[in-house]
Structure 1
């Protein structure tokens, strides 16, 4: 096995991944938004389990219905990070545009994350379960229709009120904070009635099954709901599992959070904010992921509130995260919240690699140059392994003419040919695997960096220089893929040719085939491979040059045989 076979192995591996993904997408297609006859019908309201004798009936008194949204008046809220709309029906957060992130292909237009449009539904809802208490179907009123975070103002509150049972006053308060993607959502309940009030609060994310997935070479990032608890850790369920009712997760815990995840962005209700006590109270929070009867999907958490005595008051609050999957932001939200950033199966390598990349970016201030410097750093760390590999390949290249002679000598007798080759390797002290094994060690690092760059929202719409204005999308002029093909061809010419003519032809075609694949890869990822190839070529040239000099020196230093003594005349 030589380096050429290793490259062929890597190419075949990528091909297998690609066709595996195609097969999986055909076998388990993403669900359509329309309901199907076999889809399990779900109640629009969370399944509130009885909490005490007589309380279950009150909590479950609302009749099941569909998740179809109703609309009323809109309350417009604008902060330094959000352009948001709250609907008077349910007090739902119906639309959120992220002002610091642009739409795909339109960086100057704010990215719309939550929406209740005709083509896409994705909203944040809350409600109270209890006799006569307002659910997400109730009508709320606000003091004004427009709210804006003023210069120098650190927080903005939007107060909504709704009618409750006799004597009970309900207020729902959104508090937006400057520079934060966490919104505090609080219920203020005043029991002005004559008897104790028992209630539960539910917080959920409602969306359809649309996905926005890059799918580069079969590497699809996850889209769907996820739950984290200390007992069950990180558990996610794609929409297909919710359709079949086969999703498995911890349904009750005293901590955790529930989220809807997509490529680059996420939303979540956080029951255990970082540095704060859990909001679940003495009873467990109850988590729920399900498909509703009209094809929408619900992921939420239910919190049982303490019994509120007559004349008493209670406030129930839950933070809502709506924003990008930036590592520095995720680390500050909740325990385990960084897991929503999908690094695939190589998380153990991808996370530290991205951490190093982020530290470099803090110094240079440009993600393109940070990728280049990270590539240089990785090559420096693996230089001893690369040197071993390139030395072996250089020795193998020197033996190529002798190998051709052996092939001509033994003709079609492959057994004798292989025996002669192995004897030559033994005599020349060359390990045929020496060029492969060091490269195999590096493959997990290369794949991990691939996932790190795919998942990094920090690279989204981040410019490098010249024509590269977004490192997360393909090179618009395909300059980097062409450089990738050229660098691969140079590497191929520097490596020893395989003895098999068919393999030799495949190695010549390989740069062209890879360049076609890389046409559609993110520019940041192709930039890494181009720089990596250039550095590899320089390393290989330098080591090969050193070996040539060593051989020349060895010939020079080789003692000459003494001349035979002259015969006497």
Structure 2
């Protein structure tokens, strides 16, 4: 009977986890199971081609204070300044860690390859974030609004003559674009650095007209809503925009919410950042401090923009004003992101368990600093966590060992009372009282540990450091499944041993289910990252050792008189 209750408790707990998982998915947050519902699956070629051509509604409006300066029809902005895309040039700049591609069409950032991070789909090629191709639209864009025909991300710019390669002894390179339109001369200066994933953008605007103007500068990221080929169907991670402000902190936004205009986030702020997130990597905009409006918009079917727009104030004839921003396109390295802007490290999202997961990551990183191998760091971290929960685990295993010891007597009671369930319950509770067994003693310690184990799960799943990180021999990438399935098989064996150490269910059906579970879990974990499976294997081995010692102690102790 108690085993049946334990099974029901496990089923109930799993149901709660799945309900919470579905709720997390519905609001665009990380989930333990299922697909990421925030990623749409509209036609890729259509969205990419349309995004490359640029539609009239992909320009933001100026802040409300200067909205009167906009033409009544925003499409008029594009109609008079658009240039044929065929005339645009592509400029390639390579650093130690990035290969960047800029287009003279709007001085857009149309390509960013992360040279030190091989692609999951093709290890011979680097990961690419910004991209303009038939299969992907992912662009960094900037421009001016609030003045009719002002240069924007669809204006044809001119590359100012200068080096496009790093000169000897220099750690930075400036790429300058110029365009004049609508009575404004605009100059964009991108400052690119060696060994860094961030670059600076300075936007200069000079009023060449005879009247004062009030332009606003915008910086945005435009991306299609297609999922990545490397996305797993067994576990989901968030893909989409995010906004951070000091008031509301970190807010993720699903593509679906942008499409139906129900996205909730802080729209006016004086600081913070915006980002486009995917598993392990992020592109972000960090605008200069000062009043700005954050915005999201659906440019067209399956194409979305997130950005900020800030008024440059009244600009008199021949006056020059500047707006500055920092762009980041690279891995979710928490230390680097935290140094760039407060809260930017939160793109490594652990959801509601952040308060537990962040200390775990900190400890894992410290261990790696001493050991130098992420696989062995996982092993040591698992041992430390197991030691921290040793008393709780011991209490759980003692309870299970006692129930295992009285299992034969419980079976005799069941046979003795037959259909008299009430009599069996009374006799069983009396036996528990004599043997000092708490029926829930094996459950509660495990329940207490669940948040920590889930937090560790997300730490290992979300840490970009695990990508292409070797452990031992055949495991050359802790973020990829075990190529030879050795760890899943070992995990199945350890789970089978644990099942044998647990009390045998009196119900034959339940006993068979318990014996099948190791096989089911091992098949499921074949598709999980090796780092996660390594954690479970080590945890299981330690649990077996602890449970075996406690079980032997309990079983060798004298039995209380009946």
Relative to the length of structure 1, the TM-score reads 0.87
1:175 to 172, 175, 191: 191
CA offsets 1:345-389 (integer angstroms, 9 cap, x no match): 322222221121111111111111111011000000000101111
Pick one of 40, 56, 60 that aligns with 1:30. 40
**In structure 1, what is the Cα distance between the partners aligned to 2:306 and 2:67?**
27
1:247 CA displacement: 1.2
- The separation in 2 between residues aligned to 1:133 and 1:29, in whole angstroms, is 34
Helix, strand or coil at the partner of 2:130: strand
- Shift of the alpha carbon at 1:58? 10
Q: Which one of the candidate residues 488, 492, 504 is aligned to 2:511?
A: 504
Q: Deviation at 1:214?
A: 6.5
Match of residue 44 from structure 1:
58
Q: Distance in 1 between matches of 2:482 and 2:82?
A: 41
Q: Which residue of 2 aligns with 1:159?
A: 176
Are positions 1:335 and 2:342 aligned together? yes
Q: Helix, strand or coil for the counterpart of 1:329?
A: helix
Name the counterpart of 1:391: 398
Equivalent residue for 2:101?
Answer: 85
CA shift at 1:8, angstroms?
A: 5.3
Deviations 1:172-198 (A, max 9, x none): 110012232211011123345544342
- How much does 1:453 deviate? 1.3
Matches of 1:450 and 1:334, distance apart in 2 = 26
Residues 1:125 and 1:311: Cα distance change in structure 2 (over 3 Å): same
The 10-residue stretch of structure 1 (528-537 or 406-415) with the greater mean CA deviation from structure 2: 406-415
Is the Cα–Cα contact under 8 Å of residues 397 and 495 in structure 1 kept in the other structure? Answer: yes
SS at match of 1:331: helix
Matches within 5 A, 1:284-363: 284-363=291-370
1:134 equivalent in structure 2: 151
Match of 2:85 among 44, 53, 70: 70
The aligned residue for residue 442 of structure 1 is: 449
Shift of 1:24: 8.3
Output the CA distance in 1 between the equivalents of 2:342 and 2:236.
Answer: 25
Aligned runs of 1:85-484 on 2, under 5 Å? 85-129=101-145, 130-144=147-161, 147-150=164-167, 152-165=169-182, 168-212=184-228, 219-271=235-287, 278=289, 280=290, 284-484=291-491
**What residue ranges of structure 1 are gaps of 5+ in the alignment?**
36-40, 273-277, 556-569
Q: How many residues align?
A: 539
Structure 1 pair 78–143 and aligned structure 2 pair: CA distance change class (3 A):
same
Over 3 Å counting, the alpha-carbon distance change for 1:177 and 1:287 in structure 2 is same
SS in 2 for 1:43: helix
**Deviation of residue 303 (structure 1)?**
1.1
Q: 1:426 to 1:61 in 2, by over 3 A?
A: closer
CA distance in 2, matches of 1:88, 1:176: 17
The offset of 1:537, in angstroms, is 0.5
Native 8 Å contact 2:287 2:324 kept in 1: no
Shift of the 227–504 alpha-carbon distance from structure 1 to 2, 3 Å rule, reads same
Moved more, 12-21 or 332-341: 12-21
The question of whether the paired residues in 1 share the 8 Å contact of 2:35 and 2:234 is answered with: no
| CA distance in 2: counterparts of 1:535 and 1:397, whole angstroms | 20
How far the C-alpha of 1:16 sits from its partner, in A, is 6.5
Aligned equivalents of 1:326 and 1:108: distance in 2? 22
User: How far apart, in 2, do the equivalents of 1:538 and 1:193 lie?
Assistant: 81
Query: Contact 2:332/2:348 (CA < 8 Å) preserved in 1?
Result: yes
Alignment of 1:510-529 (within 5 A): 510-529=517-536
Cα pair distance change 1:256/1:190, threshold 3 Å:
same
Contact 1:76 1:146 in 2 (8 A): no
CA distance in structure 1 between the partners assigned to 2:134 and 2:180 by the alignment? 30
| 3-state DSSP of counterpart to 1:235 | strand
Residues of 2 paired with 1:68 and 1:265: CA distance? Answer: 33
Q: 1:28 to 1:458 in 2, by over 3 A?
A: closer
Hey, what's the Cα distance between the residues in 2 that align with 1:399 and 1:497? 10
Q: CA deviation at 1:102?
A: 0.9
- CA apart distance, 1:502: 1.9
Residue by residue over 1:275-302, the C-alpha shift from the partner in whole angstroms, topping out at 9 and shown as x without a partner, is xxx1x2xxx2011101013541111110
2:52 — aligned with what?
A: none
Find the aligned partners of 2:463 and 2:36 in 1 and give their Cα distance. 28
TM-score, normalised with respect to structure 2: 0.88
Does 111-120 or 237-246 show the bigger shift? 237-246
For the aligned residues, what is the CA RMSD? 3.1
Cα distance in structure 2, aligned partners of 1:373 and 1:67:
59
Distance 1:179 1:148, change over 3 A: same
Q: Which has the larger radius of gyration?
A: 1
Write out per-residue CA displacement over residues 508-564 of structure 1, whole angstroms, 9 at most, x where no aligned residue: 111111111111111100000000000000111122233345549x99xxxxxxxxx
Bigger shift: residues 345-354 or 259-268: 345-354
Supply the distance in 2 between the matched residues of 1:68 and 1:539 (Cα, whole angstroms).
72
Change (3 A) 1:128 1:174: same
